[in-house]
Amino acid sequence: MAAAIETKLREAFAPQSLIVRDVSANHAGHAGARPGGQTHFEVEIACAAFNGLNRLAMHRAVMGQLDDEFAGTLHALNIKAKGVTED
């Protein structure tokens, strides 16, 4: 799942930086958690495509690329997004 998320986001946004973490183990026993994990992820992404966008627009852009994953086992995604000119 992490590889699929990374591939889709790289293809869609050509980010300067991208980190995808599986944090499913932190959510064991919570809603949407599965024994095999692959349900909860964190994404840190910085790209020029996000320059000038507000946080909601950036999050919508990321989420919009992952419809198939959310239709499958992806339950939750924590997103930290920024344009490349932001600190």
Distance set, CA 45 to CA 4, 25, 71, 72 (Å)? 15, 22, 22, 22
All domains of the chain in start order, with CATH: 2-82 (3.30.300.90)
3-state secondary structure of 79: strand
**CB contact set of 66 (below 8 Å; sequence gap of 6+):** 5, 8, 74, 77
pTM: 0.85
Report pLDDT digits (tens) over 28-67: 666 655 666 678 899 999 999 999 999 999 999 999 999 9
